[in-house]
Structure 1
Amino acid sequence: MKGWERPDGRKGIRNVIVVAYLVECAHHVAREITIPWRDQDVHLIGFPGCYANQYAYNMMERLSTHPNVGGVVLVSLGCEGFNKRSLQRAVSASGRPVETLIIQGDGGTRSTIEKGRAIVEKMRAVLDEQPTVHVDLSELVVGTICGGSDGASGITANPAVGRAFDSLVAEGATCVFEETGELIGCEGHMASRAITVELADEITRSVGKAARYYETLGHGSFAPGNAEGGLTTQEEKSMGAYAKSGSSQISGLIKPGDQPPSGGLFLLDVVPDGEVRFGFPNIADNAEIVELIACGCQLIIFTTGRGSVVGSAISPVIKVCSNSDTYNRLAEDMDVNAGTVLDGTRTLDEVGKEILDAVTFVASGGKSRSEELGHQEFILTYKSFEPVGPACLPTSRITAHHKAAE
């Protein structure tokens, strides 16, 4: 596999320029800047809110300094609350080229678009000349999410991803599964796989928080489409989502923007901390893909039974379909047909191997279906999180102990 080494030692499998709007008022201008390069790894991301939010700032910083990102263009209206200068300094300190456009000071829409396109053209030319380096399987950070599950998801696509995750973890890679709102009822199973008792307690508490959150909202992650696809209970959906994690020990619990400190399997808690607040979102697949990417995931494995056509900005998305009917209807959008397990033509291990092969293909520069089709979806809204405690990341203490011993 090949990629690009960043100053912090991480390696990206893409060399993307992100054009990032810092308020909805700058969204149109930022989008217009990217249009001439829509097939040349220039991606649009952004935060629509006008008032400052620490979660959103942290997410934008992590995304703008993601290993798949080689350069950044920030687009500000000028009067929003987002701390653009702080973000520019953080990106610059990461060793990446960064430019900031301020529409109110750069002459308005047309003038700012023209300036932005000139910046991207120069930046793209420089990045295209950067040398590539070898990327080992152990250097990958891979996330997984399920969207639109059906009655087959828990016995085909999701456990097949679990097989692929087990193989990746065995090779020293980092794997991240989420989310606690879709794992209600499975907290005991996950706790039994935690590498410490303290981590087991943290996992149990995080799922309890999710249960309270959705009870207050009056709805959870079980959507009408899940029932139409053959699922009958939240527990069935939870068991399917849990199957994506495989059978490896769980090394830690992280929150959006946290970077796992080591290889291994990590659970991502995407349910906001504190009381349920107006304006904080419920389940949204693409928002959670973004949160996985903010944790450093260079690519995402997305399972679907009902069918999904989305991809993402920054990191490629590999879609694994749980049944052959949906796969055949949406074949141009799917990468792997796990429905063959249900058809009796392949085993879970064989499909897991195909998923692993798809990971190495995409990590070597091959395009996933969503990339080929130009999908670059992106959602970032308001949330609030408290930092994880030391019990959530026991591998940090283990790593620190080994370094001290050396």
Structure 2
Amino acid sequence: MTGYLRSDGRKGIRNVTVVVYLVECAHHVAREVVFPSREQGVHLLGFPGCYPNAYAHRMLKQLCTHPNVGAALLVSLGCEGFNRKNLLEEIRATGRPADVLVIQDTGGTRKTIEEGRAWIAQALEKTAQVPRVPMTVSDLVVGTVCGGSDATSGITANPAVGRAFDQLVQNGARVVFEETGELIGCEQIMAMRAARPELASELIACVEKAGRYYSTLGHGSFAPGNAEGGLTTIEEKSMGAYSKSGNSPISGILKPGDVPPSAGLYLLDVVPDGEVRWGFPNISDIQEIGELIACGSHVTLFTTGRGSVVGSAISPVIKICANPETYRRLNEDMDINAGRILEGAATLDEVGREIYDRIVRVAEGEKTASEAMGHAEFSLVYKSFEPLGPACLPG
């Protein structure tokens, strides 16, 4: 296995160029800049808001300097509140090719698109020269998320991911599970797995915060599709989601944009801090994937029972289907059929090993189903977080 060496010592398994719109008004121009080069690893992401948000700035900084990213072009309208100069300086400080186009200064839609496409052509030549160096599983960060869960998720795909997570941790990788709003009822179990006593109370506090958030909003992370798929309560859904974490000790807690400092298992807290003011914490699976990538995830494991077709920008998504019937209908969008466990054709350990092996092959360059179909979804909204406390991370 080899990776693209970055200036901070991290290694990427992809070498994409990102085009980033800094306000919704610049979205169309950025999308048109990307369009001719999307088959060459040029991805679109951005922030639609017009007013500043520290979370959004941090997210885009972490994404533009992710080890899978080789270059970044920022596209600004010119009058939004996003600090484009600061973000550009942060990206350039890593040695990556980076620039910003301001539509109001460049001369409008057509001229900005032309300049953007010319810049991309030059950036692709530069990123092709990034050296590749030896890489092992211990260099990887792997995230996991579930979406479109049904009654099969918690007994096939999710615990199979847990088996793969255990194997990754044993081989020195850093793995991240989430989200706290779908772990309600599991907080005491997680606390028993905390690597340090002070971390146990922080794990409980994370889930309690999620409970307060959802109580204030008047709804929780339980969709009609979950009920139609046979799930009955948030606790039942939580137990299934929790099983993705495997059995390793929990080393720490992250918030979006925090990179795990050392090997081990980490919980990503995605529920905003402070008073409830942002609405539903994660409006889509795509947003959760983006937050995992901002924490450094090279690959995201996406389990689904009902079925999902999304991928992501920057980092590949490996789709693990829990339900054999769903797999038969959506097999072109799936990478692994964990539903074989229900039919007696495979064990949890066998599928866990298959997931681990697929991660290695994807890290070596094999495309996932969503990559091959051109999926590169991205979503970013307003949130607010406080810095991690000393109990949250090892050392």
Give the TM interval when normalised to the shorter protein. Answer: over 0.9
Q: Check whether the contact 2:217–2:279 (CA below 8 A) recurs between aligned residues.
A: no
Q: What stretches of structure 2 of length at least 5 have no aligned partner?
A: none
Determine helix, strand or coil for the equivalent of 2:72: strand
SS of residue in 2 equivalent to 1:154: helix
Secondary structure of 1:262 counterpart: coil
Q: 2: distance between equivalents of 1:221 and 1:363?
A: 31
The aligned counterpart of 2:255 is: 255
Q: How far does the alpha carbon of each residue in 1:87-106 deviate from its partner, in whole angstroms, 9 at most, with x for none?
A: 00000001111011000000
The SS at the match of 1:244 is helix
The answer as to 2:157 corresponding to 1:157 is: yes
Bigger mean CA deviation after superposition, 120-129 or 49-58: 120-129
CA–CA distance in structure 2, aligned partners of residues 174 and 282 of structure 1: 23
* Residue 131 (structure 1) shift: 2.7
**SS in structure 1 at match of 2:99:** strand
**1:82 equivalenced with 2:87 (yes/no):** no
Indicate the residue corresponding to 2:12 in structure 1: 12
Instruction: Name the counterpart of 2:143.
Output: 143
Query: Aligned letter for 2:159?
Result: P
The alpha carbon displacement at 1:27 in A equals 0.4
* Change beyond 3 A, Cα 1:296–1:285: same
Matched residue, 2:29: 29
Which stretch shows the higher mean deviation, 275-284 or 5-14? 275-284
CA contact (8 A) 1:16 1:71 kept: yes
* Runs of 4+ with >3 A deviation: 278-283
Q: Deviations over 1:369-388 (max 9, x none)?
A: 00000000000000000011
**CA deviation after TM superposition for structure 1 residue 278, in Å:** 4.5
**Identity across the alignment (%):** 67
Contact 2:147 2:304 in 1 (8 A): yes
What's the counterpart of residue 62 of structure 2?
Answer: 62
The residue that corresponds to 2:345 in the other structure is: 345
Question: Which letter does structure 1 place at the counterpart of 2:333?
Answer: D
TM-score by length of 1: 0.96
Query: For the residues of structure 2 that align with 1:209 and 1:279, how far apart are their CA atoms?
Result: 14
> What residue is the counterpart of 1:238 in the other structure?
238
Paired residue secondary structure (1:351): helix
The answer to whether the 8 Å contact 2:182/2:241 transfers is: yes
Is contact 1:179-1:270 (8 Å) kept? yes
1:281–1:381 contact (8 Å) kept in structure 2: no
Unaligned 5+ segments in structure 1 are 398-406
State the alpha-carbon separation in 1 of the partners of residues 344 and 300 from structure 2.
Answer: 27
Partner of 2:105, secondary structure, is coil
Code of the residue aligned with 2:128 in structure 1: it is D
1:169 aligned to 2:169?
yes
C-alpha distance in 2, partners of 1:226/1:364? Answer: 35
- Rounded to whole Å, the distance in 2 between the matches of 1:263 and 1:232 is 36
Aligned to 2:361: 361
Task: Tell me which residue corresponds to 1:404.
Answer: none
Give the drift of 1:3: 1.5
The 2-side partners of 1:295 and 1:107 are apart by: 36
| Residue of structure 2 in register with 1:402 after alignment | none
Q: Equivalences for 1:59-208 in 2 at 5 Å? A: 59-208=59-208
Q: Judging changes above 3 Å, is the alpha-carbon distance between structure 1 residues 27 and 295 closer, same or farther for their aligned structure 2 residues?
A: same
Contact 2:3 2:135 (8 Å CA) reproduced: yes
Q: Which residue of 1 aligns with 2:328?
A: 328
What does residue 313 of structure 1 align with? 313
In structure 2, distance between residues paired with 1:128 and 1:379? 28
Residue type at the aligned position of 2:359: V
What is the aligned partner in structure 1 of residue 51 from structure 2?
51
Deviation of 1:295 after TM superposition, in Å, equals: 0.4
Task: Give the superposition deviation at 1:281.
Answer: 4.0
Tell me the distance in 2 between the aligned counterparts of 1:175 and 1:112. 40
Measured in 2, the distance between the counterparts of 1:382 and 1:202 equals 24
Counterpart secondary structure, 1:99: strand
Q: TM-score, normalised by structure 2?
A: 0.99
The Cα of 1:273 is off from its aligned counterpart by 0.6
Q: How many residues align?
A: 395
Structure 1 position 127, deviation (Å): 1.1
Distance in 2 separating the partners of 1:72 and 1:283: 26
Partner of 1:217: 217
Give, in whole Å, the separation in 2 of the partners of 1:281 and 1:264.
26
Task: Check the 8 A contact 1:280/1:383 in 2, yes or no.
Answer: no
CA deviation digits over 1:69-102, x for unaligned, max 9?
0000000001110000000000000111101100
